[in-house]
Amino acid sequence: MADKIATRQAYGEALVELGKEHDNLVVMDADLSGSTKTAMFAKEFPERFFNMGIAEQNMYGAAAGLALSGKIVCASTFAMFATGRAFEVIRNSIGYTGANVKVCASHAGITVGEDGASHQTFEDIALMRTIPGMTVVNPSDAVATKKLLRQIVEMDGPCYFRVGRAAVPVFYGEDDEITLGKGNLIRDGKDVTIIATGIMVSAAYDAAVMLAEEGIDARVIDIHTIKPIDEEIIIKAAEETGAIVTAEEHGVIGGLGDAVAQVVVKEHPCRMAMVGQQDTFGESGKPDQLLAKYNMTADDIAEVARKVL
């Protein structure tokens, strides 16, 4: 693993690259462009950037209108305000109409840190998964962010794209294949499978290294596309390892764990456990301290894997 880069930073850089290629790409923000990194696009393409102010519902309604007029729209704010404050508009104006809007939400999960419980959303993936036809993507590092953003911009239809505040390890190479809707095998193993998403992928890999020192051979899978989920890679893991641990910076209710469990219970039941926010709100603190307090570190993933075995 190389440097640490926040996925929101990679998102901002990728928007500029895509803006040069797509004349009909429009970017919107709800007065948080410095934090979401859409300010980079605003500086390069001011005529295609709209700061809608602290009015998330209005922004997503306007985004739907622009999309239905032929534009590709990436509309950004914090995940809490996008999926929480504007859920009804996203559901009815974007989801129901199939508008070509990418809800690109940053500052998701516990690593929002000092902003505290009001800004730490653990419900966003669950909410977006419930909207018919909504693609849900949670990239794990800067390389995956850029590759997957390009794919969702070039696909037609609504998408929820989740990025984070904190800098995270970059472990994908520029030549690695990362395809929308297909999970990535990060490390093979035969004893237990750790299926992770977002920033928890690097923690899952670290957990597998720890387990290897004890003679436990852990497979690690990155599920960056939570909907539609890659059923094939999950079923194969259930059949070949017989035990699955999911890891996500999101509530265990309605997130990756639930999505994987739906596949497993239908196709190949096996032992399962979930690492994530355990039906609690967060609090203000340093990201690393909060991950440790809420049992979402590599050590915690390894411990849950041992228990599943």
Residue whose pair of structure tokens reads 């219970």 in the numeric block: 265
Alpha helix (H) ranges present in 53-131? 56-68, 79, 87-89, 124-129
Q: Over the range 151-176, which residues count as b (16 or more CB within 10 Å of their CB) and which as e? A: bbbeeebbbbbbbbbbbbbbbbeeee
Catalytic pick among 17, 21, 44, 56: 56
Please name which of 61, 226, 37 lies closest in space to residue 49, comparing C-alpha atoms.
37
Please report the beta strands in the chain, taking only residues with DSSP state E, as ranges in sequence order: 4-6, 25-29, 49-51, 72-78, 101-106, 135-137, 159-162, 167-169, 184-187, 192-196, 218-222, 225-227, 243-251, 271-277
In sequence order, the 6+-apart residues with CB closer than 8 A to the CB of 137 are 148, 152, 159, 160, 161, 162, 180, 224, 225, 226
Strands 218-222, 184-187: pairing is antiparallel
Q: Is 56 a catalytic residue?
A: yes
Distance CA 39, CA 289 (A): 30
Residue 172 amino acid letter: Y
Q: How many CB atoms lie within 10 A of CB 228?
A: 12
CA 275 from chain centre, in angstroms, equals 15
What is the H or E stretch that residue 44 is in? helix 39-44
What is the H or E stretch that residue 263 is in? helix 256-267
DSSP state of 115: G
- Which residues are annotated as catalytic? 56
